[in-house]
């Protein structure tokens, strides 16, 4: 081969090599520019920005983001020669950066939260409601009609010690008898409820709400009338307004131990010996009683085992029953209340004419698919022996 031919062949080889190198050189230049862009993004970390301008609060650690950026650029470079491997590397990088499809979870609605239903408990949670106070300890009489007369003894017969052959005096007092008339009155609750709510609600609306809550409301109404009823209109005459009860005046002053003793021993011995003997008061007054101290500053009603033990809810062995149905806003300062003590087991009578009954009417509002529900009882309340009770009035309490 002559020199001319050798030169021509070398020139051809050089052209082939140049043709192969130019694309690679272009790729290297492009990769260099991408690398410079990545370095510029890294510099933005100092100003609180993330790769691609994302806020620094995305929650991706810096080390994780750097790994993701590196994988992504490595994939871009590899893609020029190996598209499959390049795509995998870029996908791994984007995954590290959190730029792929989100991980499904329920805290975000569009990522799965819409698929998770909100569970509703089948129980309607409520504040604890006090039990009926007066009903369980008073005397109950079954009534067969709206009215019922209860004969009472207004004056007791007397006896005498008589000398031999002496004349025995008449034992009959003047006007020895009286009566108390019980009048049954209806106490009712009424509801209108859609059939859709009854069928769709998770809790039992009729049982949990209508029946249970109405029964509690009826119990509170009976307590209110038995203790505080004023006899006006449809109200019963309760202990506060009944004539003939024993009265101890509180003098618009705070409760004292002496006043408690006065109220207790104002009762006749028959009431003191009655198994139904109870104190009935508001919880605010009981709080003030428990705080009473002697001259040395020691609690008067401290438990026998020491102050660290629970205080027994009783005063001199007589149980204390608490209720919200006694007013605590009487008097000129609107901070006075009343305390009751007595033999509820024979001095106060409930006439039971009709126990609570529920009626459901699905017809009257059939066109609107509504149920009308009525709950009703018929009850009479009477103070048959007012002398069996003492009321301690005008006691000021701390609000």
Residues 148-185 have pLDDT tens digits of: 999 988 888 999 999 999 999 999 988 889 999 999 99
Q: How far apart are CA 34 and CA 49, in angstroms?
A: 18
- Residue 301, pLDDT score: 82
pLDDT at 311 over 60: no
356: which 2 tokens? 């609570």
pLDDT recorded at residue 57: 40
Cα separation, 216 vs 324, whole angstroms: 13
Give the Cα separation of 46 and 39 in Å (integer). Answer: 12
Q: Got the DSSP string for 161-184?
A: ---TTPPPPP-PPSS-EEEEEEE-
Strand, helix or coil for residue 57: helix
User: Is residue 365 exposed (0-12), middle (13-18) or buried (19+ Cβ within 10 Å)?
Assistant: middle
Distance of CA 225 to the CA centre of its chain: 26
Q: How far apart are CA 296 and CA 302, in angstroms?
A: 13
Cα→Cα distances 307→53, 75, 304, Å = 67, 77, 8
106 within 8 A of 116, measured Cβ to Cβ: yes
- Alpha-carbon span 251 to 253, nearest angstrom: 5
Q: Are 320 and 284 in contact (CB under 8 A)?
A: no
* pLDDT, average across residues 351-364: 92
Asked whether residue 3 carries a pLDDT value surpassing 70, the answer given is no
Whole-number Å distance between alpha carbons of 246 and 391:
6
* Helical (H) or strand (E) element with 27: helix 3-43
The DSSP H or E segment spanning 35 is: helix 3-43
pLDDT above 70: percentage of residues in the chain: 73
pLDDT at 133 over 90: yes
**pLDDT attached to residue 86:** 75
Is a pLDDT exceeding 80 seen at residue 382? yes
pLDDT for residue 145 is more than 80: yes
Highest mean pLDDT among 89-93, 126-130, 235-239: 235-239
Residue 119: predicted pLDDT: 62
pLDDT category, 102, cuts 50, 70, 90? low
Kindly report the backbone phi and psi dihedral angles of residue 303, in degrees, each rounded to the nearest multiple of 5, phi listed first: -65, 155
**Residue 210: DSSP 8-state:** I
User: Which residues contact residue 302 at a Cβ distance below 8 angstroms, ignoring those fewer than 6 apart?
Assistant: 311
Structure tokens, 12: 């051809």
Give me the pLDDT at residue 191, please: 94
Angular region, 98: left φ>0, alpha ψ -120 to 50, beta rest:
left
Q: In the structure, what pLDDT confidence band is assigned to residue 70 with cuts at 50, 70 and 90? A: confident
All structural domains of the chain: 14-102 (no CATH), 135-155+176-396 (3.30.2400.10)
If phi over 0 gives left and psi between -120 and 50 gives alpha, with beta otherwise, what is residue 190?
beta
d(CA 288, CA 254): 8
Q: Which residue has the higher pLDDT, 395 or 78?
A: 395
Three-class SS of residue 275?
coil
d(C-alpha 269, C-alpha 23), whole Å = 119
Residue 304 makes CB contacts below 8 A (sequence gap 6+) with: none
**Consecutive H or E run containing 218:** helix 212-228
Q: What is the pLDDT of residues 216-270, one digit of tens each?
A: 899 999 999 999 999 999 999 999 999 999 999 999 999 999 999 999 999 998 8
Cβ-based neighbours of 156, under 8 Å, separated by 6 or more:
173, 176
Q: Above pLDDT 90, what percent of the chain?
A: 48
| pLDDT at 197 (0 to 100) | 92
Give the three-state DSSP class for 369. Answer: coil
d(CA 234, CA 91): 82
Q: Distance (Å, rounded) from C-alpha 336 to C-alpha 321?
A: 18
Stronger pLDDT, 319 or 97, i.e. the higher one: 319
Q: pLDDT, tens digit, for every residue of 28-59?
A: 567 667 666 755 665 554 444 444 444 444 55
Q: Residues 296, 263, 391, CA angle at the centre, nearest 5°? A: 130
């Amino acid at each position: 081969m002559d020199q001319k031919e050798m030169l021509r062949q070398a020139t051809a080889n050089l052209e082939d090599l140049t043709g192969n190198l130019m694309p690679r050189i272009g790729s290297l230049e492009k990769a260099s520019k991408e690398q410079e862009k990545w370095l510029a993004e890294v510099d933005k970390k100092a100003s609180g920005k993330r790769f691609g301008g994302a806020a620094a609060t995305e929650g991706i650690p810096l080390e994780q983001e750097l790994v993701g950026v590196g994988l992504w650029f490595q994939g871009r470079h590899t893609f020029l020669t190996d598209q499959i491997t390049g795509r995998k590397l870029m996908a791994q990088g984007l995954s590290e950066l959190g730029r792929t499809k989100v991980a499904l979870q329920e805290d975000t609605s569009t990522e799965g939260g819409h698929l998770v239903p909100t569970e509703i408990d089948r129980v309607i949670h409520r504040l604890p409601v006090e039990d009926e106070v007066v009903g369980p300890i008073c005397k109950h009489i079954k009534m067969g009609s709206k009215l019922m007369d209860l004969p009472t003894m207004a004056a007791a017969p007397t006896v005498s010690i008589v000398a031999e052959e002496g004349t025995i005096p008449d034992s009959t007092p003047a006007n020895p008898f009286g009566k108390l008339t019980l009048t049954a009155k209806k106490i009712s609750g009424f509801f209108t409820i859609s059939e859709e709510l009854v069928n769709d609600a998770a809790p039992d609306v009729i049982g949990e709400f209508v029946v249970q809550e109405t029964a509690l409301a009826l119990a509170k109404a009976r307590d209110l009338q038995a203790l505080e009823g004023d006899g006006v209109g449809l109200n019963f005459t309760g202990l506060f307004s009944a004539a003939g009860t024993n009265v101890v005046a509180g003098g618009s002053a705070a409760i004292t131990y002496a006043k408690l003793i006065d109220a207790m021993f104002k009762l006749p011995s028959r009431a003191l010996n009655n198994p139904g003997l109870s104190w009935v008061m508001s919880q605010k007054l009981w709080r003030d009683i428990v705080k009473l101290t002697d001259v040395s500053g020691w609690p008067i009603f401290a438990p026998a085992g020491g102050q660290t033990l629970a205080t027994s809810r009783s005063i001199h062995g007589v149980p204390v029953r608490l209720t919200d149905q006694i007013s605590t806003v009487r008097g000129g300062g609107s901070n006075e209340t009343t305390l009751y003590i007595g033999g509820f087991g024979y001095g106060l009578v409930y006439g039971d004419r009709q126990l609570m009954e529920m009626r459901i009417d699905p017809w009257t509002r059939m066109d609107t698919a509504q149920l009308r529900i009525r709950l009703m009882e018929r009850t009479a309340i009477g103070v048959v022996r007012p002398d069996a009770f003492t009321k301690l009035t005008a006691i000021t309490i701390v609000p």
